């Protein structure tokens, strides 16, 4: 089975998003760059890490105790942490490399952290916090938010400060409900995979690595089959790669779905050029 087809079976659009096997699907992203990758071996390595930790935890340990033990094990003993020296290295998003190097970005570190945590009985969830992905654990006393880049536990005040900094840095108005931190939306596996892929999309676009960019975009189209804009972006990448017929199909589809889009006229001009190029291929 082709890697893209395998990925499609994991993230079928008609499936319950919470039923998507997040770790397996996130691991599968690396097959575009590491085609010989043994996904089972990487999963087994994570299972081994979890089993080692699980053997140390008393059966009656509370959720907070388990989280503290996991945090110390993950960040101090295993040495996982954020790649501050090369934040935009694509390998920070590929779990096989994150596990090998013990370095990643918040979202990839969060996936490994959550996988190990879930295997020791913690119902950890990802949070699509603006600018910096977080991990959350619900406990009786409230929600615990953790920064997977550093292992730091974040207070309500720290979360509010981060939100204010995020909106101020983008010259956006701070939401009126900034104080409603407990209502921060948890991220579904599909949300997490989309965010991972869009991180890679930005990196490969900036580097003009269009073949790598196309592989990322193919997965976004699979994840978000109803998104006309993702089809548009795939069409534009095909155009960069001088694949006019494939580009025409995607861009024509986009105009049918969004005829009044702000960039519609520009897309029509691109289609005219592509039709001319496609005609020369006959």
Mean pLDDT score, 90-115: 98
Mean pLDDT score, 85-103: 98
Residue 184 included in any domain? no
Residues 7 and 133 in one domain: yes
Q: Is the pLDDT of residue 220 over 70?
A: yes
Mean pLDDT score, 84-93: 97
Domain span holding position 275: 189-281
Residues 13 and 147 in one domain: yes
Residues 82 and 144 in one domain: yes
What was the pLDDT predicted at 177?
Answer: 52
The pLDDT tens digits for 111-165 are 999 999 999 999 999 998 887 899 999 998 888 999 999 999 998 888 878 877 7
Residue 91 included in any domain? yes
Give me the CATH number covering residue 231. 1.25.40.10
Residue 177 included in any domain? no
Domain count, the chain: 2
Residues 43 and 148 in one domain: yes
Residue 183 included in any domain? no
Residue 71 included in any domain? yes
**Full 3-state SS string of the chain:** CCHHHHHHHHCCCCCCHHHCCHHHHHHHHHHHCCCCCCHHHHHHHHHHHHHHHHCCCCCCCCHHHHHHHHHHHHHHHCCCEECCCCCCCHHHHCHHHHHHHCEECHHHHHHHHHHHHHHCCCCCEEECCCCCCEEEEEECCEEEEECCCCCCEECHHHHHHHHHHHHHHCCCCCCCCCCCHHHCCECCHHHHHHHHHHHHHHHHHHHCCHHHHHHHHHHHHHHCCCCHHHHHHHHHHHHHCCCHHHHHHHHHHHHHHCCCCCCHHHHHHHHHHHHHHHHHHC
The pLDDT tens digits for 46-56 are 999 999 999 99
Residues 135 and 207 in one domain: no
């Amino acid at each position: 089975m082709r890697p893209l087809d395998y990925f499609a079976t994991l993230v079928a659009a008609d499936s319950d998003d919470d039923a998507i096997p997040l770790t397996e699907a996130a691991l599968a992203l690396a097959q575009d760059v590491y085609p010989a990758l043994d996904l089972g071996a990487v999963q087994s390595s994570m299972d081994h890490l979890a089993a080692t930790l699980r053997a140390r935890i008393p059966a009656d340990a509370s959720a907070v105790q388990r989280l503290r033990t996991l945090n110390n094990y993950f960040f101090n003993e295993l040495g996982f942490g954020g790649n501050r020296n090369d934040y935009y290295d694509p390998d920070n998003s590929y779990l096989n490399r994150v596990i090998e190097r013990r370095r990643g970005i918040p979202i990839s570190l969060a996936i490994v952290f959550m996988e190990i945590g879930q295997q020791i009985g913690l119902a950890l969830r990802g949070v699509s916090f603006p600018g910096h992905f977080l991990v959350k654990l619900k406990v009786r006393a409230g929600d615990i938010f953790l920064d997977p880049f550093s292992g730091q536990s974040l207070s309500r005040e720290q979360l509010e400060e981060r939100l204010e900094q995020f909106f101020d840095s983008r010259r956006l108005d701070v939401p009126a409900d900034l104080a409603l931190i407990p209502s921060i939306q948890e991220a579904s596996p599909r949300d997490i995979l989309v965010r991972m892929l869009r991180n890679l999309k930005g990196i490969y676009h900036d580097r003009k690595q269009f073949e790598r960019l196309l592989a990322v975009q193919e997965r976004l189209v699979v994840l978000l089959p109803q998104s006309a804009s993702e089809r548009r972006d795939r069409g534009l990448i095909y155009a960069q790669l001088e694949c006019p017929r494939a580009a025409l199909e995607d861009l024509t589809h986009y105009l049918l779905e969004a005829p009044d889009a702000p960039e519609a006229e520009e897309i029509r001009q691109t289609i005219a050029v592509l039709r001319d190029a496609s005609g020369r291929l006959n």
